Structure 1
């Protein structure tokens, strides 16, 4: 697989599904689409609601690259960032249906490595497909 490096700006979440579908097609990773789509949806929603405070005039930058089956994603918002963001290892049964908190957990579960640096979430995932 050739190396691909791209960046896209997204304003609000009205067209986020189409942008994510385009990223998956461009990277030719349809076989891994479920995991990658869920990771991106959760990261973009988190950026929009928490980082950009639901302000659709503020951009969300999605940078992505793939090389040797290693997918690297960065989702950057306009927020101030977090000094120490916790990506939970588990969610207790009594919190499974809570409105918030599952997104970071899902990103962590579906990724090899995830960290927040200032206002940008950095995600690495090894792509496994036939």
Structure 2
């Protein structure tokens, strides 16, 4: 797979259009790592969901605020750290979208998807930093 550790850093504005930049990075990583379809789907979907959450929920789409994305790849894992400038959140307070009235709500599925697609998901500190782990 990967002989050395690959590191990549991005800093984007809190605009939903910036997801195109993240998607481009996903494509580059897919091509350079020769990721299989399942791993790539997990990586791309989780990264885009987490960045979208940082833009919309963390930074409240305030374009003066940034989202920092750090990617690190070694022989067996892709690790992603996403940090916004928001107040953070408590993951224990995120409702399960598969239960009761939550099924019909239009949002609230991002964290659920991320947790189910990644091999590791961690919320750090006050909740404005998340870490994703995908095994390759």
Kept in 1, the 8 Å contact 2:55–2:67? The answer is: yes
Residue equivalent to 2:72: 65
Q: 1:122 to 1:25 in 2, by over 3 A?
A: same
**Residue of structure 1 aligned with 2:25, choices 18, 22, 27:** 22
Q: Which moved more, 1:113-122 or 1:17-26?
A: 17-26
Kept in 2, the 8 Å contact 1:96–1:102? The answer is: no
Superposition TM-score, scaled by structure 2 size? 0.80
Number of paired residues? Answer: 126
Superposition TM-score, scaled by structure 1 size? 0.83
Unaligned ranges ≥5, structure 1? none
RMSD, aligned CA: 2.1
Q: 1:68 to 1:93 in 2, by over 3 A?
A: farther
Kept in 1, the 8 Å contact 2:97–2:108? The answer is: no
Q: 1:73 to 1:110 in 2, by over 3 A?
A: same
Q: 1:81 to 1:21 in 2, by over 3 A?
A: same
| Alpha-carbon shift at residue 15 of structure 1 (Å) | 2.7
Residue equivalent to 1:9: 11
CA distance in 2 between partners of 1:105 and 1:21 (Å): 24
Kept in 2, the 8 Å contact 1:88–1:105? The answer is: no
Structure with more helix by fraction: 2
